[in-house]
A and B are shown apart, each in its own frame.
Chain A
Amino acid sequence: MKVFHWLIVGAFAVALAGCTQYVTKEEFAPKMYSDHPTTILVLPPINKSTAADAKEYYATTVAEPLTNSGYYVFPMEVVYDILQQEGLFDTETMMNVPVQKFKEFFGADAVLYVTIEQWDTKYFLTAGSVTVKAACELKSTSTGDVLWFYDDAVEVNTSGESGGATGLAGLLVKAVTTAIKTATQSYIPLARDASAKMFLAMPSGKYNKQYNVDQKAKIEKKKAQTKDQQAEKKK
């Protein structure tokens, strides 16, 4: 019996150890707290993954978690329609527009550039999982500086602790909802949760209760190290 107890203690130690390396949001993204962007324009993502639908999944699910993080997000369909009327049809062309132009043209404080590097979906009856690796960069339209970035993989699934559902009841409801939706639509909640998970590492915007009080909130240090490595690369 004693052995069993120690096994459990060990298991908890492992679970907790996984969360030890932290950095605060302010240390990670100080410019978010000085620049205070309110409006974010999300450009269509560049899809480098093998999943043909990854771009559509991302583009249709990103607004919900990003607004819930507290930002004014421009309705992407309207923005792309207007950009097309201006003669900008493909993602690469839009990405090459000087970032300041988006302030002038739409009133965007910041622009989110996204490259999807990996998008692996698994789906079986009521359960599914998506592993998304994306490089996101939020750039200020007034200074051109990178305010926040994310470059990591997240995995979400309907049976685990992904963003949306709370508690067991939430998970049950979620599984049922997943089951009744069509096969293609069933990836949508997962795609949304993947974005939501990435935005957990972002300081909150003015429509979130955590706005301007989450400086000391902790996020995994792994991401900060990625930042240092990126800075090194740029030198």
Chain B
Amino acid sequence: MRTFAFFSFLSALLFVGCATTDKTFYWGDYSETLYDFKKSPDEKTLKAHSDQLLLIISEAPNKNKPVPPGVYAEYGYILLKQGKETEGMGYLDKEMGLYPESIVFIKRIKSEYARGKK
């Protein structure tokens, strides 16, 4: 019996090494929809990916997690490309609000957009 307990303890030790901690961010199926879009970029795969971004944005608070870095920016960028300027800019500002370190990047997107409009 004691041997059994000893080995259980050893096994537990081994498993502790494999335990994973709770992840910082919730990413949903981001990789899957982005992969599909990259493999065959069309309206359908783009819609699936932008829907997924929106889902991550709405799900994050339910999971008590912040929206992951870049998600607001990527969604806002897609909206800008679709001509939805006010909405798109709003999401870019949200990225900057949540992640102030993204300021140079967000300003770059905005200036590229302004340049493209001319």
Total inter-chain residue pairs, C-beta < 8 Å: 111
Q: Beyond A38-B101, A64-B25, A207-B24, is A106–B108 a contact (Cβ under 8 Å)?
A: yes
Interface string of A190-233 (1 = CB under 8 A from B): 01100000000000000111000000000000000000000000
Residues of A within 8 A of B99 (CB): 72
**Is A74 at the interface (CB under 8 A from chain B)?**
yes
B74 touches A60 (CB 8 A): no
Alpha-carbon distance A68/B9, docked complex (angstroms): 31
A78 touches B109 (CB 8 A): yes
A63 touches B30 (CB 8 A): yes
Say how far A212's CB is from chain B's closest CB, in angstroms: 15
Residues of B within 8 A of A5 (CB): 3
B74 touches A78 (CB 8 A): yes
Q: Which residues between 77 and 114 of chain B lie within 8 Å of chain A, taking CB atoms?
A: 77, 99, 101-105, 108-109, 112
B20 touches A82 (CB 8 A): no
Number of A residues whose C-beta is below 8 Å from B? 46
**Is B31 at the interface (CB under 8 A from chain A)?**
yes
**Is B54 at the interface (CB under 8 A from chain A)?**
no
A67 touches B20 (CB 8 A): no
A68 touches B101 (CB 8 A): no
Residues of A within 8 A of B70 (CB): 63, 67, 72-75, 78
B10 touches A77 (CB 8 A): no
Chain B interface size band reads 35 or more
A106 touches B112 (CB 8 A): no
**Is B63 at the interface (CB under 8 A from chain A)?**
no
B20 touches A163 (CB 8 A): yes
Residues of B within 8 A of A68 (CB): 23-25
Main secondary structure on A side of the interface with B: helix
Interface string of A116-133 (1 = CB under 8 A from B): 000000000000000000
Say how far A125's CB is from chain B's closest CB, in angstroms: 19
**Is A185 at the interface (CB under 8 A from chain B)?**
yes
Question: Which residue from chain A places its CB closest to the CB of B72 in the assembled complex?
Answer: A75
**Is B73 at the interface (CB under 8 A from chain A)?**
yes
20 chain-A/chain-B pairs, Cβ below 8 angstroms: A12-B7, A15-B14, A38-B101, A39-B101, A53-B39, A60-B34, A60-B35, A68-B24, A70-B24, A72-B101, A75-B77, A77-B34, A78-B70, A78-B109, A82-B108, A85-B112, A85-B116, A107-B102, A191-B31, A207-B25
Chain B interfacial positions (CB closer than 8 Å to A):
3, 7, 10, 14, 17-21, 23-25, 27, 30-32, 34-36, 38-39, 68-71, 73-74, 77, 99, 101-105, 108-109, 112, 116
